[in-house]
Chains A and B, each alone.
Chain A
């Protein structure tokens, strides 16, 4: 079963997750876990206490250490392209001056050089390069220096904030700048696993070799990777939390072009927490062959003209759809931002989805069925304990996703302050679960689609099997619309003709209208695991949903590349195949 979907390139700020190439050194010994946490706590305390005597003292300091290891093998058409192993360890420092109600991080209102200066400070963190050992001298020195600089910057920022607050109109919803949370403590063993380089290199070669079987496939890559992240977080409130995570991923991509130059890509990704959790080589080889066959069918598939018709979104497609169209709009910090359209800010306790749908974000959930969920964690990047959050209950909006930047109605974090290592956390999604009380079998749902086509008198409906990603605008200045990019779409006919693969379809619309048109769902949850990029970088997320029947979707023609297929045929193979 293929669950995963490739990147969800959330259309905010795209961020690239880079794992540096460095040698893998065995992860720190268990005893060292608390040792590093305690060393950080001790240096933090030393700085905090001394700075408390200064004129503009910090009221909050946090230190985070990220110890990340990455191993990957990538091959293209049967030949190795990259094979790296790396490890890096660095820290970040956050210093806040002022107090919980009004502090140095408050965005400045109006457009000025100070505003862009402060907003830059709010997205950057001070990075501390660190040794792999838990040696005191370089670790303390690095954090000491960074704390001094971060404190000076926060004191300056606070002065600008205070002047700005005094000079501008009162805000609509004066919520505090930082929530108060219960200190947490937790430790974890650093996770690691052996990386058998030649095994994985051989595997990516053999799987990607399948793409060379079709000379019209002009891109055919396979990557297998193992990434570990051990995070040490301490703050001046007393939190001291160590967490560790190990993830394995397989990514496959292949692409061809239609005769008219339209590029046709297909992706498949898999996610697991152990090597054994990944599909077998035989399965992946079959998958690659299926992708080649699918590309051949896509190449000769007809184009679809712009149309408004009823449709089914498969569970995977619906998961991406909800992540893009809904999930990004209920991230708490957007409700505070004056530049955001705030689609849902004033809709609390109102109906935003059909009454048979609920949406839960549950980072505590490790698996759904047998499938690992990549948005799982125990503590978020602000040291707050993860918990399930029911955002929509039977169609009614109940809350938002919150980090430690509160809203007037919600003074606490609900454990969704997340960031890519090295970035400043903001509220982000975790495991999105769409729950339906109006579920029918998949066969019945398809039957309902045919009925809907007949009822509306449309020539056909659409079945979206897969969506490669999408982007969405949540700002006030641009149209508040979405555009998702399906790569496997079928035309469905009411009269019993078999479904027909089509190409060149983009799904467009506006969020609230789209949700009001969901009629029913099926009873099978499908899952996509992917990376989501936004202000605080790239974070792992999951979305799970049953298939959705929608009374009306609007599709437009995909943008298309002007370049044609290669002029010369593929060169003759020496190997033969």
Chain B
């Protein structure tokens, strides 16, 4: 409907300084929050009702800057600061408490910028009071709902973890913001040269700040939060009216980690060139067979399809006595889930990959638990899942992956025991096509979720199409879009095609990996809070997640045409064409 979705606030732990302070310095924030926390734990109580057994305060102090440019001119530019105090109150006990019911967790929040002990404590007092009253209410309803249920196997609501007290070093924001603003304008000017680009936009966001976290269990943490993003998106129409869109999205812990200006400009020019090529290219043909995913594309595929299956999410309970959805891999721990040569780990400790910082790395998760490196799949066999403080069946403890208001990965690494150099992998793919007697195959260079690339849009047609279809997707669930896809013959002749997507995908598809490269690509994205209403902790927000993945050949994949109702081309010539 309106313009590009604003990139939301993001958080991620980036400082990796070895000189981490051993104990928490007593700043006024911690003092004010601790004073109120102690008072509430000691005396907050409604007659005849349970007292709180757990209270936590989280204060996120974030500075944000963003700029948008189109066709060489800055449109929106903003600077802002927010400081949000969130309060979580639980009544009951670790086994059965007021969390995970209906809407999830009982939290309250307020904004407060000033360094003011009195005001901060006053807000903490009012929010705690309100959260406690709600927690008591939710707990009563939850108990009522459960009193006649025959729990076959009770899983606790909240895991017990060792309290952590630490101050992690903060990083400084980028000093040369005006340079960046100019860079973004320059990138956006690339599209002036192409009158057939209907809309284009470059966004830049930098956010950074600090988080204070204290809880009644004795956690007391100050940690840096922040993320920077560059997004370029452009749209054109093929001669048959089909919309052709492509985008670049880059995430880093801070702006200074972004590629240098000439590289960003070059990548924007590549995007413009790809768009021009795709516009003139024919639509591809539907296909089922082996597909080669180059490094970036395979990492995107892992991010969209495999990583969600590795999270031990747990749906909330409700008054309706309906069985809740289980994570698909939960029952398969110990079984073979991927191709035998594949190993998958999550290593939040990996702060750098060669020279490059890894944005998904962190020291403590959003629940204050120390990040652990976890081997998830070994030799194709599923060992465990990533966990937060919300336990799942057979997974009673957190392994330090309570992130973004749910459970989330940090740095997912995929390796293959049968990896070969990229040139050899490609040769093998062509040989495979020949062996199977195929006229062609596909090389995929990017994979984006079905909902991504939504127009930089200026109109209501998106809502209209929803309205007409009754708000529900009419066809079968569609797979990810493939904005960069190459049709290749067994002889190695390559041709750009457009309007293709994968068929429906499931994590099982990684069983059919039949080749991997030694070279691996680092890809970072924003992990959305657990989608299965798996609300587990304070501050539901998007966090950076990284994956390091080789190029992959995956057998037996279905590639489909994107079917859309093509709009006629504009009647009036573009003003850029004059």
B568 contacts the other chain (CB 8 A): yes
Do B571 and A43 touch across chains, with their CB atoms under 8 A apart? no
Do B125 and A127 touch across chains, with their CB atoms under 8 A apart? no
- Size category of the A interface is 35 or more
Question: In the complex, which residue of chain B has the Cβ closest to the Cβ of A150?
Answer: B459
A337 contacts the other chain (CB 8 A): no
Do B576 and A137 touch across chains, with their CB atoms under 8 A apart? yes
Question: In the complex, which residue of chain A has the Cβ closest to the Cβ of B199?
Answer: A145
Contact check: which of B3, B126, B570 meets A129 at CB < 8 Å? B3
Question: In the complex, which residue of chain A has the Cβ closest to the Cβ of B133?
Answer: A563
Question: In the complex, which residue of chain A has the Cβ closest to the Cβ of B572?
Answer: A50
Say whether chain B's binding surface is mostly helix, strand, loop, or mixed.
mixed
Do B39 and A571 touch across chains, with their CB atoms under 8 A apart? yes
Please provide the chain B residues from 144 to 188 with a CB less than 8 Å away from any CB of chain A in the complex: none
Do A574 and B464 touch across chains, with their CB atoms under 8 A apart? no
Do A81 and B112 touch across chains, with their CB atoms under 8 A apart? yes
Alpha-carbon distance A83/B112, docked complex (angstroms): 10
A 130-171 to B, binary, CB cutoff 8 A, 1 in contact else 0: 111101111011101111111111000000000000000000
Contact check: which of A43, A83, A89, A212 meets B575 at CB < 8 Å? A43
Quick check: which of B74-82, B222-230, B340-348, B378-386 contacts chain A, the rest being far away? B74-82
Do B68 and A129 touch across chains, with their CB atoms under 8 A apart? yes
Alpha-carbon distance A145/B458, docked complex (angstroms): 8
Do A79 and B71 touch across chains, with their CB atoms under 8 A apart? no
B365 contacts the other chain (CB 8 A): no
Do A79 and B77 touch across chains, with their CB atoms under 8 A apart? no
Question: In the complex, which residue of chain B has the Cβ closest to the Cβ of A54?
Answer: B571
Do A566 and B126 touch across chains, with their CB atoms under 8 A apart? yes
Q: Given the complex, which residues of A lie within 8 Å of B510, measured CB to CB?
A: none
A15 to chain B, nearest CB (A): 15
Q: Given the complex, which residues of B lie within 8 Å of A140, measured CB to CB?
A: 575-576
Do B119 and A76 touch across chains, with their CB atoms under 8 A apart? yes
A47 to chain B, nearest CB (A): 5
A481 contacts the other chain (CB 8 A): no
Alpha-carbon distance A31/B198, docked complex (angstroms): 30
Question: In the complex, which residue of chain A has the Cβ closest to the Cβ of B68?
Answer: A129
Do A51 and B572 touch across chains, with their CB atoms under 8 A apart? yes
B53 contacts the other chain (CB 8 A): no
A113 contacts the other chain (CB 8 A): yes
A21 contacts the other chain (CB 8 A): yes
B273 contacts the other chain (CB 8 A): no
Quick check: which of A117-125, A238-246, A341-349, A373-381 contacts chain B, the rest being far away? A117-125
B567 contacts the other chain (CB 8 A): yes
Alpha-carbon distance A571/B82, docked complex (angstroms): 24
Do B129 and A568 touch across chains, with their CB atoms under 8 A apart? yes
Contact check: which of A46, A128, A138 meets B72 at CB < 8 Å? A138
Interface size on B, residues (CB 8 A): 67
Do B118 and A575 touch across chains, with their CB atoms under 8 A apart? yes
A 534-577 to B, binary, CB cutoff 8 A, 1 in contact else 0: 00000000000000000000000000000100111011011100
Please provide the chain B residues from 97 to 140 with a CB less than 8 Å away from any CB of chain A in the complex: 110-114, 116-126, 129-130, 132-133
B460 contacts the other chain (CB 8 A): yes
Do A25 and B570 touch across chains, with their CB atoms under 8 A apart? no
Do A153 and B459 touch across chains, with their CB atoms under 8 A apart? yes
A 379-403 to B, binary, CB cutoff 8 A, 1 in contact else 0: 0000000000000000000000000
B249 contacts the other chain (CB 8 A): no
Alpha-carbon distance A128/B458, docked complex (angstroms): 6
Q: Given the complex, which residues of B lie within 8 Å of A81, measured CB to CB?
A: 110-113
Contact check: which of A75, A88, A138, A149 meets B459 at CB < 8 Å? A149
Contact check: which of B75, B77, B80, B572 meets A84 at CB < 8 Å? B80
Q: Given the complex, which residues of A lie within 8 Å of B43, measured CB to CB?
A: 568
Q: Given the complex, which residues of B lie within 8 Å of A113, measured CB to CB?
A: 467-468
Alpha-carbon distance A80/B82, docked complex (angstroms): 10
Alpha-carbon distance A137/B126, docked complex (angstroms): 52
B12 to chain A, nearest CB (A): 22
Do B122 and A141 touch across chains, with their CB atoms under 8 A apart? no
A 63-95 to B, binary, CB cutoff 8 A, 1 in contact else 0: 000000000000111111111111111000000
Q: Given the complex, which residues of A lie within 8 Å of B124, measured CB to CB?
A: 571
Q: Given the complex, which residues of B lie within 8 Å of A59, measured CB to CB?
A: none
Do A79 and B119 touch across chains, with their CB atoms under 8 A apart? yes
Q: Given the complex, which residues of B lie within 8 Å of A78, measured CB to CB?
A: 116, 118-119
Say whether chain A's binding surface is mostly helix, strand, loop, or mixed.
mixed
A116 contacts the other chain (CB 8 A): yes
Alpha-carbon distance A121/B467, docked complex (angstroms): 11
B232 to chain A, nearest CB (A): 15
Q: Given the complex, which residues of B lie within 8 Å of A3, measured CB to CB?
A: none
A205 contacts the other chain (CB 8 A): yes
Do A568 and B40 touch across chains, with their CB atoms under 8 A apart? yes
Please provide the chain B residues from 530 to 578 with a CB less than 8 Å away from any CB of chain A in the complex: 567-568, 570-576
Alpha-carbon distance A284/B1, docked complex (angstroms): 42
Alpha-carbon distance A130/B76, docked complex (angstroms): 8
B181 to chain A, nearest CB (A): 10
B367 contacts the other chain (CB 8 A): no
Q: Given the complex, which residues of B lie within 8 Å of A75, measured CB to CB?
A: 114
Alpha-carbon distance A144/B199, docked complex (angstroms): 10
Answer whether A144 and B570 are a contact pair too, CB < 8 Å, given A126-B458, A567-B44: yes
Question: In the complex, which residue of chain A has the Cβ closest to the Cβ of B120?
Answer: A79
B46 contacts the other chain (CB 8 A): yes
Q: Given the complex, which residues of A lie within 8 Å of B71, measured CB to CB?
A: 131, 135, 137-138, 141
Q: Given the complex, which residues of B lie within 8 Å of A128, measured CB to CB?
A: 458
Please provide the chain B residues from 169 to 222 with a CB less than 8 Å away from any CB of chain A in the complex: 192, 198-199, 201
Most chain B C-beta atoms within 10 Å of own C-beta, residue among A46, A138, A218: A138
B45 contacts the other chain (CB 8 A): yes
B 25-64 to A, binary, CB cutoff 8 A, 1 in contact else 0: 0000000000110011001111000000000000000000
Q: Given the complex, which residues of A lie within 8 Å of B130, measured CB to CB?
A: 563
A303 contacts the other chain (CB 8 A): no
Alpha-carbon distance A483/B116, docked complex (angstroms): 41
Alpha-carbon distance A77/B111, docked complex (angstroms): 12
Alpha-carbon distance A120/B461, docked complex (angstroms): 11
Do A152 and B576 touch across chains, with their CB atoms under 8 A apart? no
Q: Given the complex, which residues of A lie within 8 Å of B44, measured CB to CB?
A: 567-568
B70 contacts the other chain (CB 8 A): yes
Alpha-carbon distance A144/B198, docked complex (angstroms): 9
Alpha-carbon distance A188/B121, docked complex (angstroms): 49
Do A20 and B575 touch across chains, with their CB atoms under 8 A apart? no
Q: Given the complex, which residues of A lie within 8 Å of B572, measured CB to CB?
A: 46-47, 50-51, 144, 147-148
A479 to chain B, nearest CB (A): 30
Contact check: which of B75, B82, B133, B467 meets A117 at CB < 8 Å? B467
Q: Given the complex, which residues of B lie within 8 Å of A129, measured CB to CB?
A: 2-3, 68, 70, 75-76, 201, 458
A101 contacts the other chain (CB 8 A): no
Alpha-carbon distance A574/B43, docked complex (angstroms): 20
Do B464 and A117 touch across chains, with their CB atoms under 8 A apart? yes
Do A132 and B70 touch across chains, with their CB atoms under 8 A apart? no
Q: Given the complex, which residues of A lie within 8 Å of B132, measured CB to CB?
A: 567
B431 contacts the other chain (CB 8 A): no
Do A145 and B198 touch across chains, with their CB atoms under 8 A apart? yes
Do A568 and B576 touch across chains, with their CB atoms under 8 A apart? no
Question: In the complex, which residue of chain A has the Cβ closest to the Cβ of B192?
Answer: A137
Do B79 and A568 touch across chains, with their CB atoms under 8 A apart? no
Q: Given the complex, which residues of B lie within 8 Å of A117, measured CB to CB?
A: 464, 467-468
A-B contact pairs, 27 of them (CB 8 A): A23-B77, A43-B575, A50-B573, A54-B571, A78-B119, A79-B118, A79-B120, A113-B468, A117-B467, A120-B460, A127-B2, A128-B458, A129-B2, A129-B3, A131-B69, A138-B70, A146-B459, A153-B459, A212-B118, A212-B119, A563-B130, A568-B39, A568-B44, A571-B35, A571-B39, A574-B117, A575-B117
Known: A22-B79, A575-B118. 8 other contacts (CB 8 A): A23-B79, A50-B573, A80-B114, A126-B460, A141-B574, A142-B199, A566-B126, A568-B129
7 closest A-B pairs by beta carbon, nearest first, are A79-B119, A131-B73, A140-B575, A22-B78, A79-B114, A138-B71, A148-B570
Which residues of A are in contact with B by a Cβ distance under 8 Å?
A: 20-23, 25, 43, 46-47, 50-51, 54, 75-89, 113, 116-117, 120-121, 124, 126-133, 135-138, 140-142, 144-153, 205, 212, 218, 563, 566-568, 570-571, 573-575
